[in-house]
């Protein structure tokens, strides 16, 4: 399966000040739509893949991650299940939402769970008017080491994900629309006729 990463402050002296900033950002978030560019770097910092598409978030527990370039791939969470559709392979993979997300950026943006249940939140040095936070997963089984978020006010600019293999995924958002009405059909997926459907526990 192609690489996917479904799937998100001011500088303070302690993480206790960073926590409320992220809490407020998520508390006031009901939906999010943006164009994205995703870059994957290997452990030596070499760029090995670039992709583009659109993402939609509707809280709680719904999202649509639509890769459009250089290949097509679709990830849809309908509130109970996550569907991963790869047209090139003519295959759909279906997972239970709780099993598929784990402690991931998709969970961070779409879930209503208190952030402190899953992450340690630390402030990073600010850059101009960009607020930066680092999130460290509390789950020892998480497949990544850290998530770094960049915010300008209530606009999510992007995040950086470092996985357990030393690879870094950098996602940058553009044309962000916050708390706009999103059609329910965006979060409904029906496997196309003739494709293989694989169910994972």
Torsion sign across C-alpha atoms 45, 49, 54, 56: negative
Domain assignment present for residue 51? The answer is: yes
Domain assignment present for residue 196? The answer is: no
Q: Tens-of-pLDDT digits for all 201 residues of the chain?
A: 454 443 332 222 234 445 567 777 888 899 999 999 999 999 999 999 999 999 999 999 999 999 999 999 999 999 999 999 999 999 999 998 877 655 567 767 888 878 888 888 888 887 888 889 998 888 877 778 899 999 888 889 999 999 888 999 999 999 999 999 999 999 999 999 999 999 987
Q: Confirm if 5 and 160 have CB atoms less than 8 A apart.
A: no
Q: Confirm if 44 and 37 have CB atoms less than 8 A apart.
A: no
Q: pLDDT value at position 27?
A: 82
Q: Looking at the 3D structure of the chain, how many domains does it have?
A: 1
DSSP secondary structure letters along 64-110 = EEEEEESS-EEEEEESSEEEEEETTTTEEEEEEHHHHHSSSHHHHHH
Domain assignment present for residue 146? The answer is: yes
| Domain CATH number, residue 44 | 2.50.20.10
Q: pLDDT value at position 79?
A: 92
Domain assignment present for residue 201? The answer is: no
Q: pLDDT value at position 50?
A: 97
- Going by C-beta distance under 8 Å and a sequence separation of 6 or more, which residues neighbour residue 57? 29, 31, 32, 33, 63, 109, 110
Domain assignment present for residue 20? The answer is: no
Domain assignment present for residue 84? The answer is: yes
Q: Domain of residue 82: give its range.
A: 32-176+183-189
Domain assignment present for residue 11? The answer is: no
């Amino acid at each position: 399966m192609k690489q996917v990463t479904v799937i998100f402050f001011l500088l303070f002296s302690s993480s206790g000040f960073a926590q409320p900033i992220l809490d407020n950002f998520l508390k006031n978030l009901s939906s999010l739509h943006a164009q994205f560019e995703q870059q994957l770097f290997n452990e030596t910092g070499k760029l090995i893949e670039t992709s583009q598409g659109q993402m939609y978030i509707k809280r709680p527990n719904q999202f649509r991650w639509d890769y459009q370039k250089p290949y097509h791939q679709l990830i849809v969470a309908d509130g109970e299940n996550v569907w991963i559709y790869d047209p090139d392979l003519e295959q759909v993979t279906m997972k239970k939402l709780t099993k598929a997300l784990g402690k991931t950026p998709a969970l961070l943006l779409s879930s209503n769970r208190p952030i402190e249940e899953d992450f340690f939140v630390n402030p990073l040095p600010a850059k101009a008017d960009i607020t930066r936070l680092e999130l460290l997963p509390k789950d020892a089984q998480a497949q990544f080491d850290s998530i770094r978020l960049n915010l300008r006010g209530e606009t999510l600019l992007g995040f950086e994900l470092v996985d357990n293999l030393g690879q870094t995924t950098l996602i940058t958002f553009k044309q962000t629309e916050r708390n706009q009405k999103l059609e329910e059909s965006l979060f409904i997926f029906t496997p196309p006729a003739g494709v293989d459907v694989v169910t994972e526990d």
